[in-house]
Amino acid sequence: MDDAIRTLVSTVCAGDVGNPDWGIIMELCDVAAGSAADAEAVSRMVLQTLERRETEDAVSLALLVTETIMTNCPQFVDLVAGRLYLQEIVSVAESAGQFPDASARASRMLQEWVTEYPSQPVFRHAQAPLQHQTTSEFEAVDETTSPVPATSPALAAEFQKLRSDLVVVEEKIQSYRNLVAVGNHEDADDVVDFLQQCQPRMNTLIEAGLAGKLDEQTLETCLTVNDHLIKALEGDMSGESEGKAPFHVADSSPDYLSGPFSNVSMSEAPPPAPARHHYNPDMV
């Protein structure tokens, strides 16, 4: 089993941090939830990746795997709170000069763990020295209590905007397929540029959802829309066997969770599009 786990961890950490392999990450979550021995094996393999520091992408992906498994497999929290694992994450957080993006991710994770896992005071102790190294202020949390998130009107509006954006993406995917079907490749190229620019944002949304910052229904919709998006960009024009998004934009009662949604909304200007994708009929 160790070899299989090592292969999964190596594969996902050798990928692109901008487009992580969520299928493998969720498979690792299932493995870690299977037994204490398997969870320990997963933690050991991920820790080895953190220790090697081969590339910033590998370190960032190892942190992403850690965070996602903790969210989906509560018993994994105790393993991350262990001295060696936590020590390595703190070390990454302190390596801003070498790996700035990974360092920022590790610092953010440690800050969030203080409030998310109040029964683990070791997270607060680990984060405290980092707090003094920055100018940002972080409110200390009592070890025996956990703050109760509140749903604000601004948060509700942010959710509604996100849901509207996802509906727009779904409509653009269908529009792209229709344009290709009638042979209007010039307009199809314009639409596919938009879809390509949406892909990095979709990855950010899924990452936020798997980290517990989106409600379950919104995460499910993100995964569904992302699946449709990938198929369209890969040349699958059929749209067959695709599930509908779990909600419609008119649905006004999602199960909101508190979190920093403003930095994952698709309403932000997306990064530059990659090389233009031209529809190839042979791909269908």
- The predicted-structure confidence for 8-33, as pLDDT tens digits, reads as follows 999 999 999 888 999 999 999 999 99
The angle, 0 to 180 degrees and rounded to 10, between the axes of the packed helices 22-34 and 2-13 is 150
CA dihedral 275, 281, 282, 284 (to 10 degrees): 100
| pLDDT tens digits along 240-261 | 545 555 544 444 444 434 333 3
The architecture that CATH gives domain 1-134 is Alpha Horseshoe (1.25)
Residue 190 predicted with pLDDT over 80: yes
CATH classification for the domain delimited by 153-234, as one of 3.30.160, 1.10.20, 1.10.3470, 1.20.58 = 1.20.58
Residues of the chain with CATH 1.25.40.90: 1-134
Write down the pTM of the prediction: 0.53
Integer angstrom CA distances of residue 266 from 58, 179, 218, 245, 278: 26, 24, 13, 17, 24
Phi/psi at 274 (5° precision):
-70, -175
Q: Give me the amino acid identity at 123.
A: F
Residues of the chain with CATH 1.20.58: 153-234
